[in-house]
Structure 1
């Protein structure tokens, strides 16, 4: 199967610009007929594949530009800035995002005969790779299955498992195995990140969080920054601000109420941090967001 087949299948699902969920909970499709402005958002553990058009993702000081024939894997929940760089009415951007289940990956990895990790192989939060034919074939079959709702419950899990096997054994596999290796620094940091994601509203003592990861505070901060490109406190701040944007968009809350709800004691500090991350004060940013056709993760 080819990228043209994938683009056709995605185009049948996403016939208008924006983000489109599917009957497969973990799979969403994004379409844009124009280039988009850089947008701050979160990428979760998942696989992004463009079938048509190009996109750019900025993570810290790293820039990932990718298009058809490439796949981008995110191994942990990350704040990024993403935008479509090549798209037109005739050739719209078409991409998919498939979120992955860490527990299912761990179970598969434990059952497979995978090569050991080498000490000098550093973990990465984002990896970009050429899209191998067997993985592309499995992804196309999964997307096409959306048109057969009567078979989703029984066949979709099997294809998703195949995709995870191919990821673990392909170019992305090294970085997934770093995440899954119990006791490894990246595994411990991923657990700390998951805890922060659940408790970002609370004032967190980072020294205590480091202790739960069985690291000294300085080692914890070093590994955290190495994997995520930011400090634990910066990560917590971005979690708060992303949730604030979500609340204001979906519950029509004012900035002051939202600031308190996500853990800020100072509304003015909230507004400054929000403007720094999203490029505009809360009210202006939310007004702009409501005019966007959709927010992409694919």
Structure 2
């Protein structure tokens, strides 16, 4: 498998760097990293992720999913998850490519394909699927454009369309079509998720969320939990805690300042929930994180 993906890896390493960063191709990101100890929070966008080297564990619905170069992942909506990356068996770093999904583009491509009768709501907002040689070849054509930046405006849209077309022919065609339907259950939950993201630092108002999604309270709760593995309130809490961790790591703000900045009304409640989420109080967690980052830099 490594030989088949070596051209992809070479391009990704030429244009990527430690962490996850956007490329010159719209919506395309490259992620590079060393193996991590234990899981850490991560926000998955609505995207397709292809691992080129190494592997990753993702926890959702109390299930641990591991995927590597033999699978690709589809995330149907923004999901706050826990993840852990792994080097490959020879100790080479994790390398991945992700493409944020454009629902309008998916809908446009799906309209050119035979219709599928499907009224069922997807059972989960995240799936793993077997990688194919056709997808590897199509992905390489898209990545190759990073070495020819002048060609990106004209050719990247065509390469992206081809990749999405191949994905729509695959086992998750129904899920991808649901992403393209704004008035389906998935589309309504996507709107609810967007509302929570935009109002994550204020008290969650279920009535406003129901109005945004166009769903009853019972229907909203049922579909939200099915797709994200969390209730709306739990989802907002995950977003707040992830943002708080980033704010603490980025500066010298106190834990109480950060707590109020992300929407907590009580610093003590923030500290309790932070401890449950990350396994250590805020400032101790920061010391441990900075120590780990320092060790990586030295190595």
Scaled by the length of structure 2, the TM-score of the pair is 0.87
How far off is 1:269 after superposition? 0.7
Q: Any idea what SS the aligned residue of 2:293 has? A: coil
TM superposition outliers: structure 1 runs of 4+ over 6 Å: none
User: Does 20-29 or 251-260 show the bigger shift?
Assistant: 20-29
Q: How does 1:135-146 map to 2 (within 5 A)?
A: 135-146=135-146
**Structure 1 pair 253/278, CA: closer, same or farther in 2 (3 Å)?**
same
Q: Any idea what SS the aligned residue of 1:2 has? A: helix
Equivalence for 1:109: 110
**What CA distance in whole angstroms lies between the structure 1 residues aligned with 2:134 and 2:71?**
13
How far off is 1:35 after superposition? 4.7
Q: How does 1:32-47 map to 2 (within 5 A)?
A: 32-47=33-48
**What CA distance in whole angstroms lies between the structure 1 residues aligned with 2:108 and 2:127?**
22
**What CA distance in whole angstroms lies between the structure 1 residues aligned with 2:263 and 2:254?**
15
How far off is 1:192 after superposition? 0.8
**What CA distance in whole angstroms lies between the structure 1 residues aligned with 2:251 and 2:105?**
33
How far off is 1:90 after superposition? 4.7
Q: How does 1:147-226 map to 2 (within 5 A)?
A: 147-226=147-226
**What CA distance in whole angstroms lies between the structure 2 residues aligned with 1:176 and 1:150?**
30
User: Does 263-272 or 87-96 show the bigger shift?
Assistant: 87-96
Q: Any idea what SS the aligned residue of 1:253 has? A: coil
Equivalence for 1:296: none
How far off is 1:20 after superposition? 4.4
**What CA distance in whole angstroms lies between the structure 2 residues aligned with 1:9 and 1:56?**
24
Equivalence for 2:231: 231
Unaligned runs of 5+ in 2: 295-299
Q: Is the 8 A contact 1:49 1:96 kept in 2?
A: yes
Scaled by the length of structure 1, the TM-score of the pair is 0.88
Q: Is the 8 A contact 2:25 2:146 kept in 1?
A: yes
Q: Is the 8 A contact 1:19 1:28 kept in 2?
A: yes
Does residue 271 of structure 1 match 2:278?
A: no
**Alpha-carbon displacement from aligned partner over 1:215-250 (angstroms, at most 9, x marks no partner):** 321221111101110100000111111222222233
Q: Is the 8 A contact 1:34 1:88 kept in 2?
A: no
**Structure 1 pair 160/287, CA: closer, same or farther in 2 (3 Å)?**
farther
Unaligned runs of 5+ in 1: 294-298
**Alpha-carbon displacement from aligned partner over 1:82-107 (angstroms, at most 9, x marks no partner):** 11234366533222222222332233
Equivalence for 2:260: 260
Q: Which has the higher contact order (CA 8 A, sep 6+)?
A: 1
